[in-house]
């Protein structure tokens, strides 16, 4: 991975609740590239979230319970998580396990991203893209949103407002 996560003051992690061994290994690679002074944000779910929480005890955890109960609480948690990244000039690192649902498209409106497409990881990535947050993905394939392959399963989408010197 040639992209520098160490340039970001805040890095958020999201991903599958049932990640592949390769994704779990990639979580470790990404965490090793985060500056020790950076804030790490993560959700409360199993899988990738849990791996990040175990590997990075200093991570700030966004809990769905803070936003009510039921499926809507997870979407509300993810919206708050991505908005925090956007406000802090952060980067989202995501590890989705499957293809992006066709109904999930980038937008600055949460309702357009969290539309019941069935993938919180992709919905969070779509919302991040819509808000101009850089998104680094570890995935076998990505939707046609402008991602560039970094090789070995890593993909990057940098909004136009991010300076090239961050690479």
pLDDT score recorded for residue 71: 81
Q: List the structure tokens of 89.
A: 């000039």
Q: What is the mean pLDDT of residues 122-129?
A: 96
Q: What is the pTM of this model?
A: 0.92
- Domain-embedded: residue 84: yes
Q: Which domain holds residue 95?
A: 11-161
Q: Per the structure, how many domains does the chain have?
A: 1
- Domain-embedded: residue 41: yes
Q: What is the mean pLDDT of residues 143-153?
A: 94
Residue 91 in contact with residue 85, Cβ under 8 Å? yes
Q: With bands split at pLDDT 50, 70 and 90, how would you rate the model's confidence at 77?
A: very high
pLDDT digits over 39-66, tens only? 999 999 999 999 999 999 999 999 999 9
Total Cβ atoms within 10 A of residue 133: 27
Total Cβ atoms within 10 A of residue 37: 7
**Strand ranges in the chain using DSSP code E only, listed in sequence order:** 10-15, 39-43, 60-62, 91-95, 135-138, 148-151, 154-157
Q: What is the mean pLDDT of residues 90-94?
A: 98
- Domain-embedded: residue 4: no
pLDDT score recorded for residue 70: 85
- Domain-embedded: residue 5: no
Distance CA 117, CA 114 (A): 7
Q: With bands split at pLDDT 50, 70 and 90, how would you rate the model's confidence at 37?
A: very high
pLDDT score recorded for residue 166: 40
pLDDT score recorded for residue 164: 38
Query: How would you list the strands of the sheet with 154-157, edge to edge?
Result: 60-62, 39-43, 10-15, 91-95, 135-138, 154-157, 148-151
- Domain-embedded: residue 167: no
Q: Say whether pLDDT at 129 is over 90.
A: yes
- Domain-embedded: residue 118: yes
Q: With bands split at pLDDT 50, 70 and 90, how would you rate the model's confidence at 159?
A: confident
Q: With bands split at pLDDT 50, 70 and 90, how would you rate the model's confidence at 72?
A: confident
Total Cβ atoms within 10 A of residue 109: 11
- Domain-embedded: residue 97: yes
pLDDT score recorded for residue 160: 64
Using CA atoms, how far residue 93 sits from 48, 58, 157, in Å, is 11, 17, 11
Q: With bands split at pLDDT 50, 70 and 90, how would you rate the model's confidence at 33?
A: very high
């Amino acid at each position: 991975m040639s992209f520098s996560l160490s340039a970001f003051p805040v890095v958020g992690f999201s991903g599958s609740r049932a990640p592949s061994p390769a994704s779990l290994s990639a979580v470790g690679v990404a965490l090793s590239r985060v500056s020790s002074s950076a804030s790490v944000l993560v959700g409360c779910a199993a899988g990738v979230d849990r791996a990040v929480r175990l590997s990075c005890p200093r991570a700030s955890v966004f809990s769905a319970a803070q936003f009510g109960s039921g499926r809507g609480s997870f979407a509300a948690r993810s919206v708050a998580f991505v908005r925090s990244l956007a406000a802090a000039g952060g980067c989202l690192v995501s590890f989705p396990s499957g293809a992006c649902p066709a109904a999930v498209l980038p937008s600055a409106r949460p309702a357009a991203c969290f539309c019941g497409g069935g993938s919180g990881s992709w919905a969070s990535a779509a919302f991040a893209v819509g808000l101009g947050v850089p998104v680094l993905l570890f995935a076998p394939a990505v939707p046609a949103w402008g991602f560039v392959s970094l090789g070995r399963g890593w993909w990057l989408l940098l909004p136009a407002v991010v300076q090239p010197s961050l690479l």
